[in-house]
Amino acid sequence: MKEVDLIITDTTILTCDNAFTRIEQGALAIDGDRIVALDKTPEITCRFSGRSSIAAANTIAMPGLVNCHTHAAMTCFRGMADDLDLMTWLDKHIFPAEAKNVNPELVYWGSLLACLEMIKSGTTTFCDMYLFEGETAQAAKQAGMRCLLGEVLFDFPSPNVKTPAAGWAYIKKQLERWDGDPLINIMVEPHSLYTCSTELLREAKQLADAYRLPYGLHLLENAAERSQLLQKFGCKATEYLKDIGYLTERFLAFHCVMFDREDRQLFADHGCKVVHPPESNMKLGSGIAPVCAMLEAGITVGLGTDGCASNNNLDLFQEMDTAAKLHKVSACDPTAMDAKTVLAMATREGAKALGMGETTGSLEVGKKADIILIDLNKPHLTPLYNEYSHLVYAVSGADVDTVIIDGKVVMKNRTLLTLNEAEIMEKVREIAIKIKKSLPT
């Protein structure tokens, strides 16, 4: 009998692999940071003994969720400047508030709060774009979360970097700092086509190519942006991106609400990835991205929450429910965006979108042990006929009982083991007092 670090027994395993393999009365053996076996509980317990174990009756064991687009530190701006259109929200409220308030301290504590919220709602991997991303990396490392981080780049000075050259230097510093780290990964993220010049975009792509990094930006988020970019470039935004060499398998585009058939075909032909944050798009009145058509075209689509200033939470279970229902009502088709499709976007397909498909996103032998346990002993989860339906339409983040990332238990019985929950919330409350004082009355 082989000894391993951890055995989870007597759970229903939803692997979220390509075949959606399901194992009743299942068990997982974890050694180090990897899943070494999964099968029926008697088969696992006769082959393995665990240095520790979790008896997980009446739970679902599934891959940790993958939040493919957020701005973690914007937890500090949660609930500020709601009920506005995108450009008014950005130009009149968010950008000015950031210019006055964003500093390393805000980003560190805001990111810790985001990690706390994400872990407690079942997210184990996130992709972030913001300022002072070295602080977000420190927060994610402290929390024990897997992440892909990019310092946001603009034509104009940001609170962190005043020139593009300073931005490239900062990114390279983060690459050196986190080289080989099992959890922290770096990408290149110019903000958007309307805030970045062609020169900046080309330099960003050159840096990404030099280090073989993923790169991404906000793209075609609403009709006003589409019109603005068409006037600016004299061609469609996706054609412009093709002309400057952006369309590759490492390119990740956030939102893509205004994608037409030609846009989708270009992305499909070049292997580009898309992230869909439906609640943010809805709240900002941006529109409904044609995700069903993207999937039909063969585009990999992950799910994201966006930041807390435009959502206003980081609960991917809630995002799944919204995504499924939004596209059903948009198409007037109850079969559109079925539960398995949406669950895959939040797990396996999300990991693929981030270039982590070989690492996480499904429960398979050899993959990282990024696992969450859902407590089914709840009134709103009783009775149970179909686990996939429950996960998308009934489960909330508050039903996550245990979270394991990279083989380490970071939350058990809804108690965080890596973070001081009360301290983090108190620090962010203090920061919010300063922010409020800086806002126009």
The 10s digit of each residue's pLDDT in 138-191 is 999 999 999 999 999 999 999 999 999 999 999 999 999 999 999 999 999 999
pLDDT value of position 339: 98
The answer to whether 337 touches 289, Cβ cutoff 8 Å, is no
Give the integer Cα–Cα distance in Å for 296 and 5: 42
The answer to whether 291 touches 267, Cβ cutoff 8 Å, is no
- Three-class DSSP category at 178: coil
Residue range 65-353 forms a domain whose CATH class is alpha beta
Strand segments, DSSP code E, in 176-242 are 184-186, 189-190, 215-219
pLDDT value of position 56: 98
pLDDT value of position 439: 83
Q: Of the candidates 356, 375, 381, 352, which has an alpha carbon nearest to the alpha carbon of residue 122?
A: 375
The domains of the chain are located at: 2-63+359-413, 65-353
The answer to whether 214 touches 355, Cβ cutoff 8 Å, is yes
pLDDT value of position 84: 84
pLDDT value of position 306: 98
pLDDT value of position 161: 96
- Three-class DSSP category at 1: coil
pLDDT value of position 82: 87
Biggest CA pair distance of the chain: 68
Superfamily of domain 2-63+359-413: Urease, subunit C, domain 1 (2.30.40.10)
pLDDT value of position 112: 98
Q: Of the candidates 323, 350, 305, which has an alpha carbon nearest to the alpha carbon of residue 74?
A: 305
Q: Of the candidates 178, 182, 142, which has an alpha carbon nearest to the alpha carbon of residue 407?
A: 182
pLDDT value of position 146: 98
The answer to whether 61 touches 11, Cβ cutoff 8 Å, is yes
- Name the CA dihedral angle for 377, 380, 383, 389, rounded to a multiple of 10 degrees: -110
297 C-beta neighbours (distance < 10 Å), count: 18
pTM of this structure: 0.97
- Three-class DSSP category at 68: strand
Tally the residues of the chain.
441
The answer to whether 217 touches 240, Cβ cutoff 8 Å, is no
Which residues in the chain land under pLDDT 50? none
Give the integer Cα–Cα distance in Å for 344 and 434: 40
The structure tokens listed for 314 are 């980081």
